[in-house]
Chains A and B, each alone.
Chain A
């Protein structure tokens, strides 16, 4: 398969504008500038592109909610917060191909009529933030950003906004609060950002990978995209594979590639002989885990939803039989309680409670009834939180409890681990 998102990964100097242009870069932007904005939105709708940040919402549809009134200031915010544990794809694009993202954003801004755009990048990605700024400076210097771009009359400014450590900034309305200079707590929806987003103005928020698909859709046409992978979630997808495989890393494959193909073919199989697969997480730690029997599930939005889990960010975390599921559940839950923004009680108080129970089970101090207690606390959090973070914490834990309940029970009864 011809790669479009990771084609420049590992190529020296791929981040420079000269090399990007030499390999055909910014052609799609020039083509787009000669099109009607509405036709680009239609193209993106026709391509079937769904957001790669986690929720899988139709990108073209999201863009079409932006009011057409030309007197209104509109914004595009690129979500490069990349905080879901197991995920490292956006960093791959930013570090190796920053102009791909910039071109994708430029086309998107033109389509929705935004003259200002921000890239919200997580604070730890210092290299990425500097690389993006250099690329943006190059793009201004070469007339791909700024005033009256290529004589089209279209103006566009692009800025890097650096986060500083808070997973919740990846939630789109918390991200907006953060750019505005407040604590990053999610906003009430409605109003949706398409009507009242950044500084109260119509705003589109899209993930790095989503926006990086746009130049290829314009250049190769929507059919090229929609014919790849499943009809309802087509296109190329970057899978981030980590954990117990021989060759972890980023893999750009058609959406809907199976976990079996990814783990045993692309990643060279399990890491250690004699340690077969125990479980895998298909889409970042918010996604409930799957079992070896699920290896043939296509990793796409709908197939995974049908299995009670999700594609999320496309982070495939592979665990062999040496893995303690109690410890795994504890680590994942600890992450959520650490990252709870504190806005709503069920998540703020519930997730640390879960972590305390899991911690004592993991450390051989579990009490009879602790599993029922976990179930009960989960029930009290699920569906009652202000944003999906709290639900994600519960879904992940419920998945582990459902498939490995006896392992948790063993920890409580024997005060030690079953596997190590």
Chain B
């Protein structure tokens, strides 16, 4: 169930556009954030109702974009390491291996305590400060193993 606040945010987004369905991207993002990092069918049905769309249309639009995680839960901290060219040149593979070793999971997996999910992503537009990763909404740049160790310690 979407909270009252989420519904208000979606209604505010509607005002930006000529067509209601334009707000679908904002709406699913808001729902995903509220739900702790992934979006569920029930919320998409509610969104469909607000935007006067069919639930399948909401699903089809959202499924196109990689950042919507439809029915794919993530840990509290979602680590996404860039694996594209500039980061690779500066050692992204080492960073990924180091994280896999430290967390005891493989890329794509979540720790059993649901604390951390590890993923790789394509270029995040931070190539001059490679290697880099994103944890939830934050960027961490010029990564080294030591920096990562520090960061992991702080992730409750």
Contacts and interface: CB of A to CB of B under 8 A. Distances in A.
Contacts of A339: 122
Given A161-B16, A179-B22, A181-B23, A335 B84 contact: yes
B40 interface: no
Contacts of B17: 159, 179
B137 A165 contact: no
Interface in B88-108: 88-90
B21 A122 contact: no
Contacts of B66: 164-166
A86 B126 CA distance: 8
Interface string A86-126: 11101100000000000000000000000000100011111
A366 to B, nearest CB: 20
Interface string A123-134: 111110000000
Contact of A85 (B18, B84, B134): B84
B60 A183 contact: yes
B67 A180 contact: no
Range of interface residues on A (Cβ < 8 Å)? 35 or more
B22 to A, nearest CB: 5
Interface in A145-172: 159, 161-167
Contacts of A240: 127-128
Given A183-B61, A243-B86, A248-B129, A124 B22 contact: no
Contact of A86 (B21, B67, B85): B85
Nearest to B92: A331
Nearest to B60: A183
A162 B29 contact: yes
A83 B125 contact: yes
Interface string A59-89: 0000000000000000000000011111110
Nearest to A90: B125
Contacts of A85: 84-86, 122-123, 127
A163 B130 CA distance: 23
B67 A331 contact: no
A258 interface: no
Interface string A303-331: 00000000000010101000100011001
Given A86-B86, A123-B65, A124-B67, A199 B18 contact: yes
A357 interface: no
B122 to A, nearest CB: 5
Nearest to A160: B16
Contacts of A41: none
A163 B25 contact: yes
B124 interface: yes
Nearest to B89: A243
A180 B18 CA distance: 9
A181 B123 contact: no
A159 B13 CA distance: 10
A331 B25 contact: no
A244 B89 contact: yes
A159 B23 CA distance: 12
A6 interface: no
A178 interface: yes
Contacts of A327: 88
A37 interface: no
B128 A241 contact: yes
A127 B64 contact: no
Contact of B125 (A88, A159, A183): A88
Contact of B65 (A161, A165, A317, A331): A165
B149 interface: no
Contacts of B26: 161-162
A242 B128 CA distance: 5
A323 B86 CA distance: 11
A381 interface: no
A282 to B, nearest CB: 13
B143 to A, nearest CB: 14
Interface string B133-145: 0100101000000
Interface string B39-67: 00000000000010000000011001111
Nearest to A323: B89
A395 to B, nearest CB: 15
A127 B139 contact: yes
Name the 5 nearest CB pairs between A and B, nearest first. A165-B67, A165-B66, A181-B21, A85-B123, A242-B86
6 contacts: A123-B67, A184-B64, A243-B86, A243-B90, A281-B85, A317-B86
Interface of A: 82-88, 90-91, 118, 122-127, 159, 161-167, 178-184, 199, 240-244, 248-250, 281, 285, 315, 317, 319, 323, 327-328, 331-332, 335, 338-339, 341
